[in-house]
Structure 1
Amino acid sequence: MTYLDPLADLIRACLPPDAAPPADAAALFRIYAVLLEAKGEQVTDEDVHNAWSAWMQSVDDSHAALVPFGDLSPETRAFDSPYAEAIREAARQVHRSSANL
């Protein structure tokens, strides 16, 4: 366990109840934790898609959604939104927590 794991867990906890993260996605959420560290509240749906693509390439390099974000249908792009919002909410919580120290 590293410093990224608690951030990954926080992001997962910030997901809406209807989000369905892929099974065995610990590595994906660590990448999302890097996005939290690098971009914080400025993270975009496209950033999330790029992170997911990096992870998915090691899981299934033939996945149909392994294309640039702009080439995705609006319906497919929408899958990234809850994850981007979870990262932004986690960033807000981390910021509030560090401000109270």
Structure 2
Amino acid sequence: MTYLRDDARLIRSHLPTYACPPEDADALFLLYAVLMRVKGVQVTETDVHDAWAAWMETRNPRHPALVPFELLDEPTQRADMPYVQAIRSAARARGTHRAP
């Protein structure tokens, strides 16, 4: 187990029960772990969407949500919030706060 996988597992553990990430999202959570280490509690919905978009680009480059965050409809934007909250919560637990 690497430190990034440990962080990815921590982020998963902070997801609310209603969040349903894909079962094969290990690589996505590694990206979220990098966000946590770089941005800490300052991570934004745009950051999370960009990480998801990078991951999705390798899986389905024609996915309709592969647009900048601000072009997404509101329900799709809200879908990123549980991941933002999980990353922030995990950052607090890990002590990886970052200044703005």
Matches within 5 A, 1:2-13: 2-13=2-13
Query: In structure 2, how many angstroms separate the alpha carbons of the residues matched to 1:22 and 1:72?
Result: 20
Partner SS state of residue 58, structure 2:
helix
In the TM superposition, residue 90 of structure 1 has moved relative to its aligned partner by: 0.1
> Percent identity, aligned pairs only?
54
Q: CA RMSD in A?
A: 1.0
In the TM superposition, residue 23 of structure 1 has moved relative to its aligned partner by: 2.0
Letter in 2 for 1:9: R
In the TM superposition, residue 49 of structure 1 has moved relative to its aligned partner by: 0.1
Moved over 6 A (4+): none
Aligned to 2:92: 92
Aligned to 2:26: 26
TM-score of the aligned structures, taking structure 1 as reference length: 0.93
Number of aligned residue pairs: 96
TM-score of the aligned structures, taking structure 2 as reference length: 0.93
Query: In structure 2, how many angstroms separate the alpha carbons of the residues matched to 1:41 and 1:10?
Result: 14
Partner SS state of residue 21, structure 2:
coil
* Greater gyration radius: 1
Matches within 5 A, 1:35-50: 35-50=35-50
Name stretches of at least 5 consecutive residues in structure 2 with no aligned partner. none
Partner SS state of residue 20, structure 1:
coil
In the TM superposition, residue 11 of structure 1 has moved relative to its aligned partner by: 0.2
Query: In structure 2, how many angstroms separate the alpha carbons of the residues matched to 1:86 and 1:55?
Result: 18
